[in-house]
């Protein structure tokens, strides 16, 4: 079994593609399912069958640990622990705790973290700090994590700030909520919405190749203004 997890979903997706390519080269049939739509009966069938020619399968299950705690989730994990017929790959869009990893002690684990510099950059936005310091953190984060992942995390950060500003419930540890609340105080609600709108415009322009600036340059400009 291979288990891929971590906040840096760009890097983890690249690893997943690498694993799929390797499995195809071995002649395996690739089966991809999302945990939220997977039933216990479907998983049992997947794990216990092969085609008439005995073709091996590589079964990829996405976001198993995003499921709420339930009997179904427990049973899915138990079935995966017992499976030996096919190659299994679990892909998670979050960082798993030691408790979550414990049932898969024999798995080959690949964790893709977001750098501390990336979070340092995000935390400084909106605060009266040296712009040079913000840009330095941004460039280091782009070098380590990639400019697109930095952009995705920036979108996430302002989505959370808008939620905090409007009094919506935000999941996470108390210290994280406190940090977001403090950061949100540096913006008005209207400013947060305008920034979020700008991020959407940048995203569309980048995806449609209508932007004259690179994503890194867009991030530089935003960081300078924030």
Domain range annotation of the chain: 2-111, 116-225
Q: In the 8-state DSSP scheme, what is residue 24?
A: H
pLDDT above 90 coverage of the chain, percent: 64
| Assigned fold of 2-111 | Rossmann fold (3.40.50)
Least confident of 51-55, 137-141, 152-156, 174-178: 51-55
Question: Helix, strand, coil shares of the chain as percentages rounded to 5?
Answer: 60, 10, 30
C-alpha angle 126/93/160, rounded to 5°? 25
Q: Give me the sheet containing 57-62, strands edge to edge.
A: 29-34, 57-62, 87-91, 2-5, 108-111
Question: What pLDDT was estimated at residue 54?
Answer: 64
Least confident of 22-36, 38-52, 174-188: 38-52
CA-CA distance, 173 to 175, in Å (whole number)?
6
3-class state of residue 84 by DSSP: coil
Question: What pLDDT was estimated at residue 171?
Answer: 77
C-alpha angle 82/96/159, rounded to 5°? 135
The yes-or-no verdict on residue 184 having pLDDT over 70 is yes
Q: At what angle do helices 147-165 and 215-225 cross, to 10 degrees?
A: 40
Count of CB atoms within 10 A of residue 222's CB?
A: 17
The yes-or-no verdict on residue 214 having pLDDT over 80 is yes
Q: How far apart are the first and last CA of the chain?
A: 44
Question: What pLDDT was estimated at residue 159?
Answer: 93
Confidence grade of residue 86 (pLDDT, cut at 50, 70, 90): confident
The yes-or-no verdict on residue 52 having pLDDT over 90 is no
Confidence grade of residue 57 (pLDDT, cut at 50, 70, 90): confident
Work out the average pLDDT over 37-65. Answer: 83
Question: What pLDDT was estimated at residue 209?
Answer: 81
Among the listed residues 119, 178, 114, 172, the one whose alpha carbon sits nearest the alpha carbon of residue 146: 114
Domain 116-225 indexed as CATH 1.20.272.10: yes
CA-CA distance, 87 to 83, in Å (whole number)?
9
Question: What pLDDT was estimated at residue 51?
Answer: 58
What pLDDT, in 10s, does the model give residues 90-130?
A: 999 989 999 999 999 889 999 999 999 999 999 999 887 78
Among the listed residues 197, 198, 192, the one whose alpha carbon sits nearest the alpha carbon of residue 213: 198
Work out the average pLDDT over 16-28. Answer: 93
Question: What pLDDT was estimated at residue 49?
Answer: 66
Work out the average pLDDT over 60-85. Answer: 89
CA-CA distance, 177 to 142, in Å (whole number)?
25
Strand intervals (E) in the chain: 2-5, 29-34, 57-62, 87-91, 108-111
Dihedral, CA atoms, 28, 30, 35, 40, nearest 10 degrees?
A: -60
């Amino acid at each position: 079994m291979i288990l891929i997890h971590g906040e840096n979903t760009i890097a983890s997706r690249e690893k997943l593609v690498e694993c799929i390519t390797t499995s195809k080269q071995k002649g395996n049939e690739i089966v991809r399912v999302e945990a939220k739509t997977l039933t216990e009966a479907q998983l049992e069938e997947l794990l216990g069958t092969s085609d008439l020619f005995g073709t091996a399968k590589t079964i990829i299950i996405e976001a198993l640990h995003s499921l709420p705690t339930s009997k179904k989730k427990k049973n899915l994990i138990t079935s995966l622990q017992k499976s030996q017929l096919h190659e299994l790959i679990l892909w998670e869009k979050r960082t798993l705790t030691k408790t979550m990893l414990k049932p898969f002690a024999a798995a080959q684990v690949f964790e893709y973290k977001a750098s501390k510099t990336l979070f340092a950059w995000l935390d400084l936005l909106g605060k009266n700090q040296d712009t040079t310091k913000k840009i330095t953190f941004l460039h280091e984060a782009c070098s380590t994590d990639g400019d697109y992942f930095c952009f995705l995390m920036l979108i996430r950060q302002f989505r959370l700030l808008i939620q905090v500003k409007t009094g919506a419930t935000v999941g996470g540890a108390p210290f994280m909520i406190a940090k977001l609340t403090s950061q949100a105080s540096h913006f008005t609600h209207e400013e947060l919405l305008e920034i979020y709108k700008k991020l959407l415009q940048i995203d569309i322009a980048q995806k449609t190749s209508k932007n004259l600036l690179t994503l890194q340059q867009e991030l530089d400009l935003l960081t300078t203004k924030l």
